[in-house]
Amino acid sequence: MAAPPRHVSMLSISNSNAGTPQSASSDKPQTPQPPSTPQQASGLRVPSNRKTIYDRHLNRSRNAELSRASFAYLFAEMVTYAQRRVTGIQDLEKRLNEQGYPLGLRLLDLLFYRSTSTSSSALSSSSTSSSPPNRPLRILPLLHLIHGPLWRLLFQRSADALEHSVSPDTPNEYMITDNDPLVNTYISVPREMNMLNCAAYIAGVIEGVCDGCGFEAKVSAHNQPTEMWPSRTVFLLRFGDSVMEREKVLERAGIK
């Protein structure tokens, strides 16, 4: 818990620094900002143009595209960072998974926020009866959510396949296939680590989404190359027993 005091002192320094040049530069002479006491008391720094994260619109970057080069660079750094502190491939994949998990939780909220706000705007323009999307209650809607909207949000296309395990011993296993995962495009795995699949990061994202919706699951990424798709990756979703039990109850209750 050494972080908060340091954080506060850092902010107070930047506050005192920002105070003098701002008045000197006088970029906004007509609005001399009054010293806002509640903000200062909590140690929160408010930007000089008053644009906090709450004033920005969440849909503004909706259709913006991220540079693939910068993403590849960033992701390579993330893999390197994770690799420095691990003992084996499994450990490395676990770390990548953990990095993706919080992203999954956030994407879930963002995804629903964006689809509600667009459906309401679509409602006014085209007057269709598109109700806000429902939270997934059963496994199948959840998988469709991941396969379709989530994949489109991340990669601008749907995933390539969605399968249920054919084995009767493992009814809790589902597979989502991506023929050419974006994260692996610029990664060539050394021969001695050929089990490694850096899409474990995406598996972490999926796990975050499942967990957020209340479906406890373990998700892992596996290489399944074909001749046409050398970096084909299968994401294996294993749902927990509690989920399968609830699934049975909900099925009996007739809830879709």
Partner 1 sequence: MSYYFTILSPTDTPIFNIAFGTSKGGGDGIARFRFPDTAQYMNQFIIHSSLDILEEAQWTNGGMYLKHIDTYPPASAYISAFLTPSGARFLLLHQPPQLPSSGSSSALGASSLLGSSGSTTRASSSSVAANPTSPQTEEAVRQFMSEVYESFVKTAMSPFYKQGMEIRSPVFRSKITAAGKKWL
Residue with tokens 């509600």: 116
Integer angstrom CA distances of residue 121 from 15, 56, 108, 117, 125: 40, 18, 20, 6, 6
Total residues contacting partner 1 by CB under 8 A comes to 32
Stretch that binds partner 1, among 46-54, 65-73, 165-173, 232-240 (CB under 8 A): 46-54
Binding status of residue 106 toward partner 1 by CB under 8 A: yes
CB within 8 Å of 92: residues ≥ 6 apart: 79, 82, 83, 86, 196, 200
Q: How far is the CB of 88 from partner 1 (least distance, A)?
A: 27
Give the single-character DSSP code of 55: G
Q: Closest CB to partner 1 among 205 and 234? A: 205
Q: Closest CB to partner 1 among 79 and 142? A: 142
Binding status of residue 2 toward partner 1 by CB under 8 A: no
Q: Closest CB to partner 1 among 232 and 246? A: 246
Binding status of residue 148 toward partner 1 by CB under 8 A: no
Task: Report the alpha-carbon distance of residue 163 to residue 251 in Å, rounded.
Answer: 20
Stretch that binds partner 1, among 86-94, 132-140, 150-158, 194-202 (CB under 8 A): 132-140
Integer angstrom CA distances of residue 47 from 27, 33, 80, 141: 14, 11, 34, 41
**Site residues, partner 1 (CB under 8 A):** 38-39, 42, 44, 46, 52-54, 56, 58, 102, 105-106, 108-113, 116, 132, 134-137, 212-214, 246, 250, 253, 255
